[in-house]
Structure 1
Amino acid sequence: MRCTTLRLTGLLAALSALTATTSAHAGMGLAVLPGLQGDGPVTVFYPTPDADQPVQRGPFTVQLAPQAAPARGNGRLVVVSHGSGGNPWVHTDLARALVRAGFVVAMPEHQGDNARNAADAGPVSWKRRPQEVSRAIDAVAAAPQLAPLLQLDKVGVAGQSAGGHTALSLAGGAWSPARFLAHCEAHIADDFNACVGTYTLLTGGMLDGAKKTVALGVLRQRFDDAEPVRHYDPRIAVAVAGVPAAADFDLETLRQPRIPLGLVTAGRDVWLTPRWHSEAVAAACTPCTRIAHLPEACHSVLLSPAPPMEVLGRTERHLLADPPGFDRAVLPALDERIVAFLAQHLVPASAAPQ
């Protein structure tokens, strides 16, 4: 069976099917739980009967109900894994769509790879991230106001970029730092920022050769471990990987994922060149569902609201700026596709929120 492509133009049928599971709750509650075992905080969004109010978080004004009483939804949790240098606020539109459908949403802050500290971005963080997702579930399970409203035997995970790498790991994929190094040695010119992140760009100038040489020298010192990295959590029952970092995976381990796996891909991703990342997974994973492919979108397709360009550095602006002509008006429909995919595998019809 080929990877199933669901076009955004065909959304009406899926949205109609989702109507039965849409929550009528008034607002989106916000709580911040302490992380376990030294982890960063876990930000949680949930259905509440209380009304939202404007809440300022960094450059974002978000409609939320902080510390509001939670309401019973569909009984299921989705953990969202942010990308490198990320935070919860760039995924609040997806969180709102999930909360409307009755989900509770938890977003762990990934240690050493978040908006406050990105020193461990890359394979160092990738090893920790799936464990941080598991401990985020444990943190929600220990929250007295939330735990009684949830069944945690089946949990969903969704992630963007490095968070997509997390989702692939939790779906059963195995990777290694040595595979990451081998990819960069073979494709440093064509996939430069997948290997070096936001430190610098290739510009076509006379310094490009030196940049590639220095980058490979650093990578060879840090990433030679060939031991496959895996993480298994039996509670994870479905995963969504959006524009995932994936060139370091053994694709044989993703041909038949252990759980349903959905993909979101972008045709103009200049941070993670699709042919070695998202498209490689889509070609290998025959039972996967391609939730959506947006040919004119770039790497920031799942950042909604998008970070203001003026708060980003030069390299980040280049890697994340929407291409000319891309219309973000399609993103709410994309969020609903993701919600529908997760609900299909987590929520029986009898569990629709009231």
Structure 2
Amino acid sequence: MKSIIACCILLSCVFKTQAAGFQTREMTGPAGKPIKLAIWYPSATPPQARNTGTFIQQVASDGEVAGTGLPLVIISHGTGGSQYSHYDTALALADAGFIVVAPIHPGDNYADRSEAANILERPRHIIATLDYLLREWPQRAQIAPSRIGIFGFSSGGFTALVNIGGQPDLRKVGVHCAAHPAEYACQLVARHGDDSKQVPHAATPQMHDRRIRAAVIVAPALGFTFDNAALAKVDVPVQLWRAEDDIVLPHPWYAEHVRAALPRMPEYHVVPRAGHLDFLAPCTAQLAALVPQICVSQDGFDRGDFHKRFNADVVGFFHRSL
């Protein structure tokens, strides 16, 4: 009994002194475009407050990476988002011993949405980011290449599905939007007009990155473009999330469609009273003042409280799967 108590005390001390390390990097992506990265990881370096302008995180900026053989999770944000859209989930993963990298998707982010309709460029960004982390990142030796997962939200969920072997048929977008023109995805296509007609209609086999061994798919965009044949090659564990009151990507054409088409049953979560944007990190006062539209939840829904459970479930899934 004494040895058990001593072990618990020791572990408590270790967990209290460990913090999330944090780095920013920039790499060259497909077509020579720069891609900014945010990287979180376990670190024994003491944390300090770091202000990004819209939130403050307690991290060890450029601290040493603690541990070896660490699992890696890559995060793909949604349309108009950023590398910080899911920073709280990234911090939870780093605190649990994961390295986390979040690229900002060129041409489909908060500052530049000029290529938002070209959704099949996004999986290439993910592949290029993993190449960088595994081949060029100074701390690459501490990554376990066989323990890589992906987290994707909205357009990032679509991205993740392609990266784990999905083969969407984007010709279905026109048919769907003719019947549902008011949906967000259809309005996005309409705004881009002729630009969207130049977008490839199918993923290529090269977009399937077999280094990825597990996926968390959150409110996936264009779920209706994946049928059973399109997802037949997906052979990794999937955790799938849907917001019950998602009016951006409404039921049953998105997450539910993906759930039915996956070759094996995913771990499926439907969040009562949640809206689409409730999967984004809880808003600070600064962020709510800048973009209040992404910070509004239904009466009675506490985004902060939900994210405690959400992040714990995401961490648990990756621990079991990687």
Same fold by TM-score greater than 0.5: yes
Q: Is the 8 A contact 1:180 1:247 kept in 2?
A: no
DSSP 3-state at the match of 1:121: coil
Say whether 1:288 aligns with 2:279: no
Equivalent position to 1:244, from 198, 202, 220: 220
Displacement of 1:286 after TM fit? 5.3
TM-score by length of 2: 0.85
Please give the root-mean-square deviation of Cα atoms over the aligned residues, in Å: 2.5
Moved more, 250-259 or 84-93: 250-259
Q: Is the 8 A contact 2:70 2:147 kept in 1?
A: no
Displacement of 1:232 after TM fit? 1.1
Equivalent position to 1:147, from 140, 145, 148: 140
Equivalent position to 2:203, from 229, 233, 250: 229
Equivalent residue for 1:337?
Answer: 313
Q: Is the 8 A contact 1:183 1:247 kept in 2?
A: no
Say whether 1:181 aligns with 2:155: no
1:249-304 Cα offsets, whole Å, 9 max, x none, are 23122256222121011011111112111111122225232342102101123211
Say whether 1:324 aligns with 2:299: yes
DSSP 3-state at the match of 1:105: strand
Distance 1:54 1:292, change over 3 A: same
Equivalent position to 1:29, from 21, 42, 61: 21
1:230-261 Cα offsets, whole Å, 9 max, x none, are 41112011111101103452312225622212
DSSP 3-state at the match of 2:108: coil
Q: For the residues of structure 2 that align with 1:178 and 1:269, how far apart are their CA atoms?
A: 24
1:189-338 matches, cutoff 5 A: 189=182, 192-197=183-188, 216=190, 219=193, 222-223=196-197, 227-230=201-204, 231-252=207-228, 253-254=230-231, 257-285=234-262, 287-306=264-283, 308-312=287-291, 317=293, 321-328=296-303, 329-338=305-314
Moved more, 258-267 or 35-44: 35-44
Displacement of 1:132 after TM fit? 0.8
Q: For the residues of structure 1 that align with 2:140 and 2:320, how far apart are their CA atoms?
A: 22
Q: For the residues of structure 1 that align with 2:80 and 2:133, how far apart are their CA atoms?
A: 23
Q: Is the 8 A contact 2:224 2:257 kept in 1?
A: no
Percent identity over the alignment is: 27
Displacement of 1:218 after TM fit? 5.5
Query: In the comparison of the two structures, how many residue pairs are matched?
Result: 301
Higher strand share: 2
Higher relative contact order (CA 8 A, sep 6+): 1
Paired letter, 1:279: E
Q: Is the 8 A contact 1:57 1:89 kept in 2?
A: no
1:4-153 matches, cutoff 5 A: 26-37=18-29, 38-72=33-67, 75-122=70-117, 124=118, 126-143=119-136, 145-153=138-146
Displacement of 1:46 after TM fit? 0.7
DSSP 3-state at the match of 1:132: helix
Q: For the residues of structure 2 that align with 1:217 and 1:141, how far apart are their CA atoms?
A: 38
TM-score by length of 1: 0.78
Distance 1:217 1:117, change over 3 A: closer
Q: Which runs of 5+ in 2 are unaligned?
A: 1-10
Moved more, 34-43 or 261-270: 34-43
Q: Is the 8 A contact 2:224 2:258 kept in 1?
A: no
